[in-house]
Chains A and B, each alone.
Chain A
Amino acid sequence: MTLVEKILARASGRTRVEPGEVVVADVDLILLHDLSGYLTARVFEEKVRLPMRYPERVVMVFDHHFSPPTEEGARLLLENRAFARRYGIRLFDCGHGNIHNVAVWAGLVRPGMVVVGSDSHTPVHGTLGCFAAALGNDSHAALGFPYGKAWFRVPSTIRIELEGMPKPGVTPRDVALWLAATIGEGGAVYKALEFDGPYLRRLGFWDRWLFPLLTVDVGAKCGYMEPDEVTEAFLRSVTREPYEVVRGDPDRAYEAVWRYDVSELEPQVACPPTVGNVKPVTEVAGRPVQWAELGGHGGCRLEDIRLAARILRGRKKHPEVKFNIVPSSRSVFTQALREGLVEVLHEAGATWFPPSAGSNQAINMGAMAAGEAMISTHSRNFPGRNGSPEAKMYLASALTVAASAVAGCITDPREFLREERM
Chain B
Amino acid sequence: MRFRGRCWKFGDYIPTDQIVPSHLVYRPMSEIVRHVLVNLNPEFPERVQPGDILVAGKHFGQSSGRAIAAKAIQATGIACVVAECFARTFYRNAFEIGLAILECPGISKAVQEGDVLEVDVESGWVRNETTGQELRGEPTPPFLMEMLRAGGLIPFAPRLLEEGWKA
Contact = CB atoms under 8 A, between A and B. Distances in A.
A288 interface: no
A44 to B, nearest CB: 10
Interface of A: 20-24, 35-36, 39, 43, 47-48, 72, 76, 118-120, 122, 134-139, 141-143, 146-147, 149, 151, 153, 185-186, 189-190, 216-217, 219-221, 273-274, 276, 361-363, 380, 382-385, 389
B153 A76 contact: no
Given A142-B153, A186-B58, A134 B68 contact: no
Contact of B89 (A136, A138, A274, A276): A136
A72 B26 CA distance: 8
Contacts of B6: none
Given A136-B96, A139-B92, A22 B143 contact: yes
B161 A24 contact: yes
Contact of B22 (A24, A141, A274, A362): A362
Contact of A137 (B18, B21, B66): B66
Contacts of A217: 62
B92 A135 contact: yes
26 contacts: A21-B167, A24-B165, A35-B26, A43-B154, A48-B154, A120-B65, A135-B65, A136-B66, A136-B89, A138-B67, A139-B96, A142-B154, A146-B157, A151-B153, A153-B143, A185-B58, A186-B13, A186-B87, A189-B88, A219-B59, A219-B62, A219-B85, A219-B88, A382-B63, A384-B21, A385-B17
Interface string B126-167: 000000000000000101000000001110110011001101
A136 B62 contact: no
B23 interface: yes
Interface string B44-55: 000000000000
Nearest to B69: A136
Contact of B18 (A20, A24, A136, A384): A384
A53 B22 CA distance: 32
Contacts of B15: 274, 380, 382
Interface residues on B, range: 35 or more
A24 B147 CA distance: 14
A299 to B, nearest CB: 16
A339 to B, nearest CB: 33
A143 B88 contact: no
B66 A22 contact: no
B64 interface: yes
B41 interface: no
A147 B69 CA distance: 26
B25 to A, nearest CB: 7
A382 B18 contact: yes
B60 to A, nearest CB: 9
A138 B160 contact: no
Given A22-B167, A118-B65, A186-B85, A384 B92 contact: no
